[in-house]
Structure 1
């Protein structure tokens, strides 16, 4: 979500569909959620229960309300079950379960509770919407963020506006496949949306090539090595070995 990248892509790939995928949008929102938490924490007294919750229990803000896990017997358990067993929390000097800890954390500030609510709403947006409904729901989400009165959330609303079309484009389905659940044997249709994962993979490989060579001073040689490595399939080996293959070819041609 970097404006110069969008401008470069539009210049050199005018017919491409540009997308900002779920990972980057949620990552950006998480930064704003964390800013709310830090702002609230700075307004509390060090050593207070509120400060402890904001400082040491912040990971609870990243867990969905309906999240679950399996216990040692394989039984499905809700993480935020109000009736879950309590354990001693040394920072608060009392017995609490995760549900009570989360509620105590959110009670430290109305702004933090709003930020947590929209974090979950954003997650639901990506789980439930599709290409035909994503645009209308995203507009609704932006309006509601604007009306919160929370600066960090309003800033995120601006981000959604700036990248509106790219976010909607991420709902395009690029691949469908049937997968079998190994535990139940049930077959379901799995859809893959448009993401930037392939580009990021290529970028990682290019960085690896540069790292393995301790940098380059000759642009043409660097460019040739990148093109060679990226033209090879995964079965051809690690970029390290591919880079050595290029060295061998260059030496033999001298």
Structure 2
């Protein structure tokens, strides 16, 4: 990890990158980002020679979020004591797995039968035609994400977008607009460097560590101290920089406040 900034506001990021010499910024070839307009705007302005790549994980996360909205809409059309509601409520996770593996059939009291997870998924997809269509589209995108390459990605992506248009599902059409908006960045993400595809994977794991650091400390009010702790924990050769750490730069959140301990 190179550094930690206090927030992701546009002004903060523009100011941060401005402090890096232009000659160094012009040597950056690729940047992988979430589907966040501010990141794209800042990178285009401060790192004009870099190709922007959309992180594949976040595109699929958007697809899963869309699928979940359709699931909830379908679920709300059934009584809470119905089999359909039960399946959509309790086994929704089967929709978001790339593949639901075969397992030993177990007795299900609600369904009054022995059943395994792939069979449960089949029952869920029979509940709603729109949910089935959305699930198939998501599966097609996952296949495209794994199997396409830089030479074919643009053509494959636009074929998929055309299939999304045909669905006429409101949530899918909204997601389609997102894919169109980020189409070039999605195509760029199929670039491989030293045999590895460009992703945010490493930084996502670092974000997880940063959250654990904050959690274990019961939160931080002083941002420089939090930054020092993150860099120290995640970089073996980093020494804490105490300059300015005595100045309280407040982080997001509020104090816990007073509480009464139960006896």
Tell me what 1:74 maps to.
none
- Residues 233 and 37 (structure 1), Cα distance of their counterparts in 2 relative to 1, 3 Å cut: closer
**Length-normalised TM-score, structure 1:** 0.71
| Partner deviation per Cα, 1:233-253 (whole Å, 9 max, x = no partner) | 83326xxxx33xx239999xx
Identify unmatched segments of 5+ residues in structure 2.
Answer: 1-34, 247-263
- Residues 210 and 13 (structure 1), Cα distance of their counterparts in 2 relative to 1, 3 Å cut: farther
Q: CA deviation at 1:18?
A: 0.7
- Residues 102 and 197 (structure 1), Cα distance of their counterparts in 2 relative to 1, 3 Å cut: closer
1:125 paired with 2:159, answer: no
Contact kept? 2:106, 2:115, Cα under 8 Å = yes
Task: Report the secondary structure of 2:54's partner residue.
Answer: coil
Tell me what 2:49 maps to.
15
Deviating beyond 4 angstroms after TM superposition, the runs of 4 or more aligned structure 1 residues are 198-213, 229-233, 248-251
The count of residues paired between Structure 1 and Structure 2 equals 210
Contact kept? 1:206, 1:226, Cα under 8 Å = no
Tell me what 2:242 maps to.
247
Give the CA RMSD over aligned residues.
3.3
Tell me what 2:177 maps to.
158
Contact kept? 2:222, 2:245, Cα under 8 Å = no
Tell me what 2:26 maps to.
none
| Partner deviation per Cα, 1:162-205 (whole Å, 9 max, x = no partner) | 110111111001122xxxxxxxxxxxxxxx11123455567678
- Find the partner of 2:64 among 30, 45, 57: 30
Write the distance in 1 (CA, Å) between the matches of 2:50 and 2:171: 32
Write the distance in 2 (CA, Å) between the matches of 1:250 and 1:40: 52
**Length-normalised TM-score, structure 2:** 0.69
- Find the partner of 2:96 among 22, 39, 62: 62
| Partner deviation per Cα, 1:15-40 (whole Å, 9 max, x = no partner) | 11111121000001100000000000
Tell me what 2:14 maps to.
none
Task: Report the secondary structure of 2:145's partner residue.
Answer: helix
Task: Give runs of aligned pairs for residues 55-134 of structure 1, distance below 5 A.
Answer: 55-65=89-99, 68=101, 79=102, 85-134=104-153
| Partner deviation per Cα, 1:66-96 (whole Å, 9 max, x = no partner) | x54xxxxxxxxxx2xxxx7532112222222
Contact kept? 1:19, 1:167, Cα under 8 Å = yes
- Find the partner of 1:40 among 71, 74, 80: 74
